[in-house]
Amino acid sequence: MASTSITFSPLQLRSTRHGQGHGAPQRKAAAVRLPAAARLRRVAASVSERPAVPPPVVASPPAPGPDPKPKLPLRKIPGDYGLPLVGPFKDRQDYFYNQGRDEFFKSRVQKYGSTVYRANLPPGPFISQNPRVVVLLDGKSFPVLFDVTKVEKRDLFTGTFMPSTDLTGGYRVLSYLDPSEPAHAKLKKLMFFLLKSRRDHVIPAFHASFTELFETLEADLAAKGKAGFSDPNDQAAFNFLARSLYGVNPADTKLGLDGPKLVGKWVVFQIGPILVLGLPKLVEDLVIHTFRLPASLVKEDYKRLYDFFHSSSGPVLDEAERMGISREEACHNLLFATCFNSFGGMKIFFPNMIKWIGRAGGKLHTDLAREIRSAVRDAGGKVTMAAMERMPLMKSAVYEALRIDPPVPQQYGKAKRDLVIESHDAAYEVKEGEMIFGYQPFATKDPRIFERAEEFVADRFVGEDGEALLRHVLWSNGPETESPTLGNKQCAGKDFVVLVSRLLLVELFLRYDSFEIEVGTSALGVSVTLTSLKRATF
């Protein structure tokens, strides 16, 4: 999730240790006989037709020059930060409780008549020293956050604060490194090596792990009449990542089935200051948003995860040593990339995608099932990369889910020099050292770029005109039309994330004709409950 994403974010540099939808829902359908599609389906043992990760490329950013004279009128950035302590505290209350995140941003767009303005962002006092940001909320201004000649990404992965390095073995891991730092290229290259060396294991491991998920959901439906998606998805995602990237089944190790629970607790200690956990407001604001939770409380949990990855990553750690990275630093980075970026991305994005596909209704389900089964049948019953390239509706549906509900909604950068940033309507001067913040769901639902921007349109990216819009899909800390390199902050696992998201829909519609859901909320996104699964009938 890139600087990148909780999903599969990039990892960043420096080996230095710190001291510090639409469509009506279908009627409930009873389970029926095994699908014909399931009988024809075999898992491809290789995805070598098209690598899941691009070859590592060292890209030297062009030398920065002065910004061209803006074509739009210069306008002073509206908004203010208020009094010290008081302004940040008030904005924090509005952001979390009085308005909520989306209304916080939307109300200020209306107030200032601008998609670019100044505000304080959480957590503020006393966790972040400087909560002041320039907010970007449109698809034209947002991409400046990807330009590493203009913005610095050092220690900005989680925003206006950085979690203690005690949570990552004392190291600043890749996601917190700027491409200008010497270790960034080494660590990102290591991630490329991991993905490339294990690419032939991705499709078989996904099939095995998510078959277990579907069997669990079917059993729960039979016993209770409904089945929660989140917990089985977490277990399947963790098992898949361990099997595909490291060749290990967690259940056969000392870690057992505890991985998702340990990761979830560890992640809260890192990003709790920017989450609403559902505790009583006064308790949550004081304990979670005002002071840091001590890393010592998850030390033993993290040690169990570290030991699992250290014992499972021998070949990758050997490669790290050849690249001049210590085994210890490499292991902490592998843990973070797998658990925070990749697992975190699947934990957040998979329920979101199921939500949108589920709400779209039976016609889309039927169209997806027909396209997917036909392409797999034409491939001799195998799920392959080549077969998935012949599924334009499926591919578009994945991109549309990434557009409308990106797994990492926020990006940050610090201006390296005085800049002029243009929205659709005006140009704004940003001074060197100022923090720039972009809220991606507004940028990727910009009505001046996308028609019916607030709707889930599954076939939006089908055809030549649809594919041209992919440059505005930004979930990976870069445009979908570009690729991660050693010199940028785009998610190292960008293509891996797209692949596994496609595989979820392929596995789902090879097995089922349709499904129905109920949707709730959770601290990290949505909570999905399945109320029916109709086994494949054609």
What pLDDT band is residue 418 in, cutting at 50, 70 and 90? very high
Q: What is the pLDDT of residue 65?
A: 60
Instruction: Give percent above pLDDT 70 in the chain.
Output: 88
Average pLDDT over residues 56-64: 49
Which residues does 69 contact at the CB level (< 8 Å), separation at least 6?
A: none
Indicate the SS3 state at residue 430: strand
pLDDT digits (tens, 9 = 90+) for 248-284: 999 999 999 999 999 999 999 999 999 999 999 999 9
Report the chain's terminal Cα–Cα distance, integer Å.
Answer: 34
Contact present, 438 and 136 (Cβ < 8 Å): yes
* Mean pLDDT within 474-500: 97
pLDDT given for residue 523 in this prediction: 85
Residues 155-166 have a mean pLDDT of 97
Residue 525, pLDDT score: 83
The per-residue pLDDT for 58 is 45
The whole-number pLDDT of residue 34 equals 41
Determine the pLDDT at residue 45. 40
DSSP state of 164: -
Q: What integer best gives the mean pLDDT of the chain?
A: 90
Nearest 5 degrees, angle CA 61-CA 170-CA 291? 100
pLDDT tens figures, 294-318:
999 999 999 999 999 999 999 999 9
Q: Is the pTM of this model over 0.85?
A: yes
Answer whether residue 107 shows pLDDT above 60.
yes
Known binding residue 331? Answer is no
Q: Does residue 456 surpass a pLDDT of 70?
A: yes
Confidence of residue 61 (pLDDT cuts 50, 70, 90): low
Residue 24 pLDDT exceeds 70: no
pLDDT of 225 strictly over 60 = yes
Residue 64 has what DSSP assignment? P
pLDDT score, position 352: 97
Say what the pLDDT of residue 49 is. 42
Q: What is the pLDDT of residue 524?
A: 84
Residue-level pLDDT at 403 = 98
Return the pLDDT at 195: 98
Helix (H) or strand (E) holding 517: strand 512-522
- State the pLDDT at residue 41: 53
Specify the long-range contacts of residues 98-103, CB closer than 8 Å, at least 24 apart. 102/441
pLDDT for position 62: 52
What band does 63 get if pLDDT is binned at 50, 70 and 90? Answer: low
User: Does the pLDDT value for residue 38 go beyond 50?
Assistant: no
- Model confidence at 66, in pLDDT bands (50, 70, 90)? low
